[in-house]
Amino acid sequence: MPELPEVEGFKKYFDQTSLGATITQVEVLDDKVIRQDTEAFVKDLAGQKMVASERIGKYIFVSLGSGKVWVVHFGMTGRFKFVQNQVDQPEYTRVLFHLDQGYLAYECPRKFGRLRIADSIEAFREEKKLSKDMIKMTWEEFQENLKGRSAAIKTTLLDQKVCAGVGNWIADEVLFQAKIHPLVRVHELDEAQQKQIFAKLKEIIQFAIEKEANYDEYPRYYMVHRRGWTDLEPAYCEQCSEDTEYIKVGGRGTYLCPDCQILPQKEQLEEKELSS
């Protein structure tokens, strides 16, 4: 689930239910999701007041009274759930945070999520080389982040050092709407194409946040509906046949329109065939 728009929703949910509360106890039900020494993690959180929260990319940073920071990542299936009574905690709760009022459950069925403590947001960002959040990134910064890269554009968009917050469906959606094939190398893109990608990143992410990551409310022409995540009937543009191509790019399932998104090499081949 969680790409940038979902995590933005999780942050709002956290702010409404838990921000300002004090953690009285940390109940670790499965320490697979804790990416450090569990005892130290629990010790750093117990008794702390959660004084502020900030989202960067797919991370939420919760500042503690001690000055340290609780770092939350949701992997592929994580989420927060606040409950008044302990018995109401979700089935796949991996860590249950006892607050002075109620309980904050961190649920994560597939255990790809990760929790830890960092000295500061900046220290963590530096450690991971995490880029600025995609929503706040400027065109100049985006251009700078692409510099010197030669991998496939889709792989690069998924790199959190380049575009913090972008995930698999957003990368596909951006490239579809920008009419660029996901396998095109970054250095093969001209400035107009880079600008188009940047504009689409902003537009699509902003729109998804406004719709609170509710896929059913995205326009029918969005590529995302061809993934079968919604019941919506996809709409096709005039140049689109109803074919959707499915390939692997950097090991990730990738959907594209073979009519709108053409590889330069393929274009050249087709021109040759026509002239011969």
Contacts with DNA, residue ranges (CB under 7 A): 1-3, 6, 32, 57-58, 73, 75-76, 92, 109-112, 114, 128, 148-152, 155-156, 158-160, 167-169, 186, 227, 229, 250-253
The SS3 call for residue 5 is helix
Query: 23 vs 105, which CB is nearer to DNA?
Result: 105
Please name which of 189, 126, 199 lies closest in space to residue 161, comparing C-alpha atoms.
126
Structure tokens at 110: 């597939």
Q: In 10 A of CB 256, how many CB atoms?
A: 25
Kindly state the smallest distance separating residue 247's Cβ from DNA, in Å: 10
Query: 49 vs 132, which CB is nearer to DNA?
Result: 132
Kindly state the smallest distance separating residue 2's Cβ from DNA, in Å: 6
Query: 25 vs 206, which CB is nearer to DNA?
Result: 206
Kindly state the smallest distance separating residue 42's Cβ from DNA, in Å: 20
Query: 102 vs 250, which CB is nearer to DNA?
Result: 250
The SS3 call for residue 274 is helix
Query: 65 vs 187, which CB is nearer to DNA?
Result: 187
Rounded Cα distance between 217 and 230, Å, is 10
Query: 99 vs 188, which CB is nearer to DNA?
Result: 188
Query: 46 vs 263, which CB is nearer to DNA?
Result: 263
Kindly state the smallest distance separating residue 83's Cβ from DNA, in Å: 20
The SS3 call for residue 258 is coil
Kindly state the smallest distance separating residue 73's Cβ from DNA, in Å: 6
> Of how many residues is the chain composed?
276
CA geometry: angle at 57 spanning 54 and 62, to 5°? 25
Kindly state the smallest distance separating residue 186's Cβ from DNA, in Å: 6
The SS3 call for residue 26 is strand
Kindly state the smallest distance separating residue 223's Cβ from DNA, in Å: 12
Rounded Cα distance between 229 and 218, Å, is 12
Burial 202-239 (b: 16+ CB within 10 A, else e): bebbeebbeeebebeebeeebbbbbbeebebebebeee
What is the distance, to the nearest Å, from the Cα of residue 161 to the centroid of all Cα atoms in its chain?
12
